[in-house]
Amino acid sequence: MVRESWVLHPGGLPMFVHPVFKRDIREIAGCASALYLYASEHEIHRYGDSYIFKDAIKVIHDHGLRAIVSVGTGGRFSAMNPSTWHLSHPETWVQPPALPEGSQLRLLPKEYCCVNNPAFIEYTRDYYRRLFDENKVDGIGFDEPREFPCLCTHCRDKYRREKGSDMSGLCDRAQLEFQAESLAEYIKIIADIAKERGAVTASVVYLQPSEEYFHRMLIRIPTLDYFGIDPYWFEKPVEYVGEHTREARTFCKGTNKLLWVVIQGFHMPAGTEHQIYDAGKIAADNGADVLCGFSHWRGTENPEAAWDTTHRMLKDFGPKRNA
């Protein structure tokens, strides 16, 4: 049974205080209980004499919604809004090995911070403490975190301490599992800070066999509240959503994690908007605790129809269906 309904909104925070958004948010509040939004690393700071971040959160709260914010700290999360700190700290960047020809690993560019770098870890602690101390944020999101190999000094030293041997220097299973463990530890640092402040924590991943080890590490973090998936079907049959929802349900079995499912709202050709409604029903029928509509219309030919369908889907299958 669906317990909550969310709307995922990728727009920049300044738009949240715009008069048009103040009108639109009433529709969101009519079908959702939380807004999952993205913020770039610098948006929590003051702009001239304006505190746009605080103002945006207030607008969201004034309409009875929780604000769950995904920040692109060090480039590790939230591709929607890039981070900034790591650009002036290249000494913290990941140092990946050369990949063998034909490798299928989804390797991110090296201009991202290594989660084992002490300077980045300290920055992360300071950043999130400040975020919570200065703003009334209800939760933190981890948007598609992924492990990938790093051969920096800090990773090599930690590997030697924990594994009792030297890294192979290759992109092998042992290296990826070590990075999965390190990334889970890094996320736990942030989740623990959030929990100390009474906030919720939510991850969202794209399920695939090559990253299953990390996903199982992620779901075992005690202070992670929501385990989410984004089973975008694109040209696949919409029933694909059911397969992934059932698989994610097995990940959550025996844990206290709530499963949230993001329903695709972009790259929708005109006339296919009904698939949004169908996907929401499939996710609800297959064990989603939270339905999340994606209000990002990139590549969608009829955004108005997509939003109308998303709104109706959340109303009909979410907890506000009787409101």
Structural domains present in the chain: 4-92+109-142+183-322 (3.20.20.80)
Alpha helices in the chain (DSSP H): 19-29, 52-62, 118-134, 153-163, 173-196, 212-219, 240-252, 274-285, 303-317
Contact 16, 56 (CB under 8 A): yes
CB atoms within 10 A of CB 315: 18
End-to-end CA distance of the chain: 16
Q: Is 0.85 surpassed by the pTM of this model?
A: yes
> Hey, what are 201's tokens?
């924590």
Q: What does each of the 323 residues of the chain score in pLDDT, given as a tens digit?
A: 899 999 998 766 666 666 656 667 888 999 999 999 888 777 777 776 778 888 889 989 999 999 999 988 888 886 666 678 888 899 999 998 876 666 656 555 668 899 999 999 999 999 999 999 999 999 999 999 988 889 999 999 999 999 999 998 888 889 999 999 999 999 999 999 999 999 999 999 999 888 999 999 999 999 999 999 999 998 899 999 999 999 999 999 999 999 999 999 989 999 999 999 999 999 999 999 999 998 777 888 998 899 999 999 999 999 866 55
